[in-house]
Amino acid sequence: MSKKLSIGLFGFGVVGQGLYDIIKTKNLNIEIVKFAIKDPNKKRSLPAELFTIDKEELLNNPEINTIVELINDTEAAFDIVSRALSSGKNVVSASKKMIALHLDELIELQQKHGTSLLYEGAVCGSIPIIRNLEEYYDNELLHSISGIFNGSSNYILSKGFIEGLDYNRALQQAQDLGFAETDPTSDVGGFDAKYKLIIAAAHAYGVIVQPDEVFNLGIQNLAAHDLQYAREKNLKIKLVPVAKELDDQNVAMFVLPKFVTSSEFLYNVEYEYNGVTVQAAFADQQFFFGKGAGGHPTGSAVLSDIAALRYDYQYEYKKAKAKTNLKFTNNIELDIYLRYDDEALVNDLKFISIKERYYSGDYKFVIGKVNLQNLIDNQSRISVSKAFVAFAGQLTGVSLASA
């Protein structure tokens, strides 16, 4: 028998509205008691008495046993979630940056107070990847997790390849449709994908890493020459986060644009859709596909977590508790494509080997193997010089460098 959930909902934006739309069509023994909002003057579709700007009305209400957090303020979200967990309330959150930054503390709070925090909606929208990593793959050796984790950047890239739009026009369309923020840095810079990767990797490998330790480089410097090169080689460019177990002691993570071949699942993932590829020792390769953005797709993932709380579901964090020898490392070598103007940048990246070089009047590129740490050391130069870097190898091409 499921227990009744009385919910305090923080945020009534796109996802909050989408969640409400879904809940009102169901009979799930769930009641939203109160909504906490930031702007009391904004016109709402529900009675005014359901809304408040005072978070204490939700956090201190003994009738509310579940908090759903769907706001954009990272530190305010952590305050809400941590206080709720500490006071005995279960929580559902979709705040990937907040979770990635504070995952260690959030796990400790759940264990200390016997409460549950679920966050399927924080990673890849409607795709149920966290629950699968937690349950289906709990005893599986996972070689790698990769995919398209950000619908906004994928929409921009699809517009470039399929419709021939340049980066700025594609970005503007994404912003007009609400897929990208006015400041799109988190999406196109790979930060959003990195937060999601860190959360997924914690469940896949039990390794919890701070976001500033993980390298991310986005698609801001994408140019027509890069698209032309990809088309000539029958490739597509996708922004791909990667978590890969290199051996029984090391896990690597990074976010980079990637040249994707027509034989890869991600080749056909377009526009605002997401896709996750899991490479496992025994299950082999499996692929998850679905919408990664939008109120109803993300709302459906949030509702799945809420429904699970009716039966007292908790993440067990089995792999994190196992205390394996796995550690995070940036000491890896990978094949990259670098389109550049600054010759000194090529020297400073210290290519271990070079497969191909091309020079023309206004277009130069080099393809070869570098150590990831050299990319990290030169990240600001890459950005400022408008150079474009893409991962140009299969996941099997990522290797652990010698110490």
- Domain identity same for 148 and 263: yes
The band of 211, judged by pLDDT with boundaries at 50, 70 and 90, is: very high
Q: What mean pLDDT comes out for the span 4-33?
A: 91
Using only C-alpha atoms, the chain has a radius of gyration, in whole angstroms, of 22
Position 1 scores a pLDDT of 59
Q: Could you report the per-residue pLDDT of 314-369, keeping only the tens digit for each?
A: 999 999 888 778 999 999 999 999 999 999 999 999 999 999 999 998 899 999 99
Question: Do residues 10 and 51 touch, judged by C-beta distance below 8 A?
Answer: no
Question: Do residues 111 and 134 touch, judged by C-beta distance below 8 A?
Answer: no
| Residue 21: partners with Cβ closer than 8 Å, 6 or more residues away | 295, 296, 299
Q: Could you report the per-residue pLDDT of 277-292, keeping only the tens digit for each?
A: 999 998 899 999 999 8
Question: Do residues 313 and 2 touch, judged by C-beta distance below 8 A?
Answer: no
Q: Could you report the per-residue pLDDT of 14-26, keeping only the tens digit for each?
A: 889 889 888 888 8
* pLDDT over 80 (residue 397): no
Question: Do residues 398 and 332 touch, judged by C-beta distance below 8 A?
Answer: yes
Q: Could you report the per-residue pLDDT of 45-55, keeping only the tens digit for each?
A: 899 999 999 99
**Domain count along the chain:** 2
Of 272, 274, 304, 271, nearest in space to 287 by CA: 274
* pLDDT over 80 (residue 370): yes
Q: What mean pLDDT comes out for the span 55-70?
A: 98
Is residue 286 a part of any domain in this protein?
yes
292: helix, strand or coil:
coil
Helix (H) or strand (E) holding 159: helix 151-163
- Print burial letters for 313-322: b (CB count within 10 Å at least 16), e (below 16): bbbebebbee
What predicted TM-score, i.e. pTM, was given to this entire model? 0.96
Distance from C-alpha of 338 to C-alpha of 392, rounded to nearest angstrom: 9
Q: What percent of the chain has pLDDT over 90?
A: 81
Report in angstroms the alpha-carbon separations of 55 from 7, 58, 82, 102, 214.
Answer: 13, 6, 13, 21, 33
Of 28, 85, 99, 60, nearest in space to 311 by CA: 28
Q: What mean pLDDT comes out for the span 218-240?
A: 96
- Domain identity same for 238 and 95: no
Question: Do residues 277 and 266 touch, judged by C-beta distance below 8 A?
Answer: yes
Is residue 32 a part of any domain in this protein?
yes
The band of 402, judged by pLDDT with boundaries at 50, 70 and 90, is: low
| Residue corresponding to tokens 């289906």 | 136
Position 178 scores a pLDDT of 76
The CATH number of the domain holding residue 68 is 3.40.50.720
The alpha carbon of residue 55 and the mean position of all alpha carbons in its chain are separated, in whole angstroms, by: 27
* pLDDT over 90 (residue 141): no
Q: What percent of the chain has pLDDT over 70?
A: 99
Average pLDDT for the chain: 94
The band of 254, judged by pLDDT with boundaries at 50, 70 and 90, is: very high
- Domain identity same for 254 and 186: yes
Position 179 scores a pLDDT of 79
Position 59 scores a pLDDT of 98
Is residue 365 a part of any domain in this protein?
yes
Q: Could you report the per-residue pLDDT of 76-128, keeping only the tens digit for each?
A: 999 999 999 999 999 999 999 999 999 999 999 999 999 999 999 999 989 99
- Domain identity same for 77 and 113: yes
Position 45 scores a pLDDT of 84
Is residue 253 a part of any domain in this protein?
yes
- Domain identity same for 160 and 94: no
Of 70, 71, 97, 98, nearest in space to 82 by CA: 98
Catalytic hit among 196, 244, 258, 369: 196
Q: How many Cα atoms within 13 Å fall on the side-chain side of residue 397?
A: 13
Catalytic residue flag (residue 89) = no
The CATH number of the domain holding residue 372 is 3.30.360.10
| Residue 262: partners with Cβ closer than 8 Å, 6 or more residues away | 234, 235
* pLDDT over 60 (residue 269): yes
Top pLDDT among 309 and 182 is at 309
- Domain identity same for 90 and 15: yes
Query: Which residue range forms the structural domain that includes residue 149?
Result: 140-291+324-400
